[in-house]
Structure 1
């Protein structure tokens, strides 16, 4: 049995990952603000265990309690692999620093960086004595590597997430039963996040016309395509610990 813990599964990449993992010998734990009934019905039809946990990823204690509940459910004697995919994220606030509200900055960092850090430390703690395949996948962004006008908070949170990936991987290299930790940058996808970006005011986000062009010219990849490439890497490939992968390497 393989166990998957995935955040942000109600739509976009998280939904696509969950849908493609609904198959025999997988158990899926979804951490999401909203349940996706389509996924629940598909899992029931296929006889696959899928559990939803409602969680506010801005709250540390709540996030820790969810992980405790999940790990009391896992049968470690039967675990061929345990995977955590930190997918939940937000691009807002889309505004240059100075115009952005302090609470909006804090929310972005809490969801994009602090929550994956808390989830990862719980994952490593609960699996420390387990000798099986263990992997953490942090969903990153190309914005981690270049400044984008109006995205200071998002760029910073994703850059921090990539450094977190590299540092934890370095720490795990010396462990007896290490966790493989990677980042994955999915590129531009046809998701609700992209739709939100296209609604931005040009005074707040100078690249808004470029992102509209991505959509109009069909340059946005389907989440299902990106999901398939990522799952091929983590389930059938040999991911390099600490590496930041980009979708263009895989398709």
Structure 2
């Protein structure tokens, strides 16, 4: 089925996200941290920025950095939610915190499903005989994204005057297989389809699968160190050593530009290099 194009493509381009409730999972480091820093200055006074991660110390440091910046003095509420999204209690705590935010005057809801893990790339698909290993990976990387999104949409249903946008942080691995990356590729492909279906079911939503490109993060270091397939490992190492990776700030900036321009078909998979 064809994805639905935005009906407001001719509207003037926005320069900020208005008064919003913005939720970012995996906010303590990497792309999530950069998204928080970049979007803080694009939220109007009265907005709430909900930062979600497993590491409380890193979240508090990010909160302190934002509060000490210009954005922190502009009437922006910055809240931290320490939650393990691989368990239902973690997902439920984020939804509960979102419901409790004092943001009745918001005109936009933004949810960035960024939290994810690489999984065990030191093994090939034929070695995954233990269902518990697979279930654990999929619980954190797939089930949590669906359940959190559903919970947030239930807490903030469609109504006149509020625009809702759901972003799934995707990957090239959602559309291209990489040897010894069976968990990561499967998880990303599943997440893309979840949000493509959501776009079909909820025409009032703006939904985007965004592939941020190869980023200079701990995950890339893990991939360079542990990938079992020699060809894939060498390719990633060469990309890093030759400087062909992006900073998280670069990719986050491009994503926010896409969201402000709002010209993508809802449910689309968009790669950073296509921006």
Candidates 257, 261, 264, aligned match of 1:232:
257
Match of residue 139 from structure 2: 110
Q: Which runs of structure 2 are paired with 1:124-139 in the superposition (5 Å)?
A: 124-131=153-160, 132-139=162-169
Rounded Cα–Cα distance in structure 1 between residues aligned with 2:50 and 2:167: 15
Rounded Cα–Cα distance in structure 2 between residues aligned with 1:168 and 1:81: 18
Rounded Cα–Cα distance in structure 2 between residues aligned with 1:218 and 1:74: 44
Match of residue 90 from structure 1: 117
Rounded Cα–Cα distance in structure 2 between residues aligned with 1:170 and 1:217: 41
Going from structure 1 to structure 2, the CA distance change for 1:201 and 1:129 (only over 3 Å counts) comes to: closer
Superposed CA offset, 1:188-231 (max 9, x none):
111110011111154x5641011000110000000000000001
Going from structure 1 to structure 2, the CA distance change for 1:235 and 1:71 (only over 3 Å counts) comes to: farther
Superposed CA offset, 1:113-155 (max 9, x none):
1111011101221121433110100011101112111111111
* Cα distance, 1:74 vs structure 2: 4.2
Which of structures 1 and 2 has the larger relative contact order (alpha carbons within 8 angstroms, sep 6+)?
Answer: 2
* Cα distance, 1:106 vs structure 2: 2.0
Match of residue 7 from structure 1: 25
Q: Classify the secondary structure of the residue corresponding to 1:84.
A: strand
Asked if residue 59 in structure 1 is aligned to residue 87 in structure 2, the reply is yes
Match of residue 178 from structure 2: 148
Match of residue 213 from structure 1: 238
Asked if residue 99 in structure 1 is aligned to residue 130 in structure 2, the reply is no
What residue ranges of structure 1 are gaps of 5+ in the alignment?
none
Q: Classify the secondary structure of the residue corresponding to 1:93.
A: coil
Asked if residue 71 in structure 1 is aligned to residue 96 in structure 2, the reply is no
**TM (normalized to structure 2)?**
0.84
What residue ranges of structure 2 are gaps of 5+ in the alignment?
1-18
Contact 1:185–1:247 (8 Å) recurs in 2? yes
Q: Classify the secondary structure of the residue corresponding to 1:248.
A: helix
Aligned-pair RMSD on alpha carbons? 1.7
Match of residue 191 from structure 1: 217
Contact 1:93–1:105 (8 Å) recurs in 2? no
* Cα distance, 1:75 vs structure 2: 2.0
Asked if residue 31 in structure 1 is aligned to residue 45 in structure 2, the reply is no
Rounded Cα–Cα distance in structure 2 between residues aligned with 1:139 and 1:5: 13
Q: Which moved more, 1:85-94 or 1:106-115?
A: 106-115
Q: Which moved more, 1:14-23 or 1:60-69?
A: 60-69
